[in-house]
Amino acid sequence: MGKSTSSSTITLPKNWPSQLPYLITPTHSPNLTPSNLAAIRIPPSPSDPLPIIPKSYKPGPCQSVRITPITDPAHPAHNQSGLFAATNLQPGQLILPYIGELHSSLPNPSYDYSSSDYDLWVDREGDVAVDASRMGNEARFVNDFRGVPGKMEGGKSKANAEFKVVWDERRKERVMGVFVLGEGKSGKVKGIRKGEEILVSYGRGFWGERRGDEGC
């Protein structure tokens, strides 16, 4: 099993849940096989370019974000928490890695990853995903934009960030990262201002499954 560094050796971010281990590097599930690990250790190439987390990127609590309790009753995550910008974030900027348990789709006697709301594919073809339900870092608190009150017409918010697979030069592995949305062709995306909530799109598949669970 791969080694990880958890909350026992570092200072926890403010508002981190006391019952959850805080990670600064991913941990490896026992259901990962050598072929799974080989798949995420293939370096990027000109035909398969990836954003890079440089060796100089410091592990540990991210100074660019804050975990903040949601007190607005109109927010879908009311009485839970969200991730907010602690400084101005520029279009296309890496905010922080999404850290958790790297695992495959093979059975794990200790946990059913298919029931998690914090699971993302890192390499679908290589059968490797990352789950942050039982442990992780601040990125697990990123909420979906749907239903979040905002300043747009109709009083709604929109996604201002996205998940991307990245190459971590420190570990020589593919991992997941949270990025500010790029400017795009229209140039309308202006980054994320200090104090704004960082919001992504979980995707229609996620919400379709949730509607199915609710019997809608």
25: three-class secondary structure by DSSP: coil
Q: What is the pLDDT of residue 157?
A: 86
CATH number, residue 114: 2.170.270.10
Q: Name the residue range of residue 132's domain.
A: 27-213
Number of other CB atoms surrounding residue 144 within 10 Å: 17
CB-CB contact of 89 with 65 (8 Å)? no
Domain contains 68: yes
pTM of structure: 0.86
Q: How far apart are CA 202 and CA 118, in angstroms?
A: 10
pLDDT of residue 188: 64
What pLDDT digit, counting tens, does each position of 80-110 carry?
Answer: 999 999 999 999 999 999 999 999 999 988 8
| Residue 45 domain flag | yes
Asked if 131 and 113 count as a contact pair (C-beta separation under 8 A), the reply is yes
Per-residue pLDDT of the chain (216 residues; tens, 9 = 90+): 344 445 456 789 999 999 999 999 999 999 999 999 999 999 999 998 999 999 999 998 999 999 999 999 999 999 999 999 999 999 999 999 999 999 999 998 889 998 899 999 999 999 999 999 999 999 999 999 999 998 766 677 899 999 999 999 999 999 999 999 987 644 566 899 999 999 999 864 332 333 333 332
Residue 154 domain flag: yes
Q: According to DSSP H, which parts of the chain are helical?
A: 34-40, 204-213
The count of domains in the chain is 1
Name the burial class of residue 50, with classes exposed (0-12), middle (13-18) and buried (19+) by CB atoms within 10 angstroms of its CB. middle
Per-residue pLDDT, 190: 81
Q: Tell me: the pLDDT tens digits for 6-33?
A: 545 678 999 999 999 999 999 999 999 9
Q: Is 16 part of a structural domain of the chain?
A: no
Contacts with 151 (C-beta within 8 Å, 6 or more apart), sequence order: 157
Structural domain contains residue 11: no
Tell whether 53 is covered by a domain: yes
Q: Is 163 inside a domain boundary? A: yes
